[in-house]
Amino acid sequence: MDNIKESIQSALNIDGTIGAAIGDWSTGFSLGQASRNEQTFSSVKLEQAVALNAEVIKAKNRAREGLGITSPIEDILITLANQYHLLRICDLAEGVFFYLVLDREKANLGLARIKLRQIEKNLRM
């Protein structure tokens, strides 16, 4: 049995998290999402962001392959004026990634990355 909802809730509990989602970057489909603040970043926006960020992951994979880099991507960070957007590619589930929206003033980026890596290790699909 999968634990997608529990994994999203665990990610949402990381300090400074505004929203969390799990998506399939090969299709752009969201497997689940939750927002701590619908005004700041709604569940609908999270679902859209999963689809759009799936294209970011595909583009980065093409660039990596074009450069002959064989190491897989672990995560991608997008830094905005007031937010971090963290894409964590899952090692254990092909094509799956976590998407985390963090408040820059409240989040500890290093700690968020460590905690998300731990959550990923417990993800069951």
The helix or strand, by DSSP H or E, that contains position 20, with its residue range, turns out to be strand 17-24
CA angle 43-111-33, nearest 5°?
A: 15
Q: Which two tokens stand for residue 57?
A: 């992951």
Domain boundaries, the chain: 4-121
Residue 1: is its pLDDT beyond 80? Answer: no
Work out the mean pLDDT of the chain and round it to a whole number. 95
**Residue 28 has what pLDDT?**
97
Residue 19: is its pLDDT beyond 80? Answer: yes
CATH 1.20.1250.20, applies to 4-121: no
* Amino acid occupying residue 56: V
**Residue 74 has what pLDDT?**
96
Q: Is 84 helix (H, G, I), strand (E, B) or coil?
A: strand
Residue whose pair of structure tokens reads 């619908």 in the numeric block: 38
Per-residue pLDDT of 50-100, as tens digits, reads 999 999 999 999 999 999 999 999 999 999 999 999 999 998 888 999 999
**Residue 53 has what pLDDT?**
98
Distance (Å, rounded) from C-alpha 12 to C-alpha 58? 25
- b/e per residue, 83-107, with b = 16+ CB within 10 A? bbbbbbbbeebeebbbbbbbbeeeb
Query: Which candidate, 27, 26, 31, 29, places its Cα nearest to that of 3?
Result: 31
